[in-house]
Amino acid sequence: MLAINEKLYTGDLVQMRKPHPCGGDSWEIVRVGADIGLLCETCGRRVLLPRRKFARGVRKFLRRSPQAIKDLDGPP
């Protein structure tokens, strides 16, 4: 389970626990706020999940956005 206060960025690619009805389980984060907007990488469907439900459903990060990588590395 992902921590609720985990820093998320648009462009991150995550794998969810339950597959989408189209069969895909990888999602791109397209909106960050109280709700998390996701775009299915397989069929292009957009969904909006409350942050708590999103945090429970994430299995792992498949790819972090360039902004996330820069922020996680810290200041030079």
pLDDT band at 68 (very low <50, low <70, confident <90, very high): confident
Beta strands across the sheet bearing 26-31: 46-50, 35-40, 26-31, 13-16, 58-63
d(CA 28, CA 44): 10
d(CA 39, CA 52): 18
pLDDT at residue 15 in the model: 97
pLDDT tens digits, 20-60: 999 999 999 999 999 999 999 999 999 999 999 999 999 99
d(CA 20, CA 68): 25
Domains of the chain, start order: 13-65 (2.30.30)
Give the residue ranges of DSSP H helices in 1-74. Answer: 51-57, 66-73
SS3 70: helix
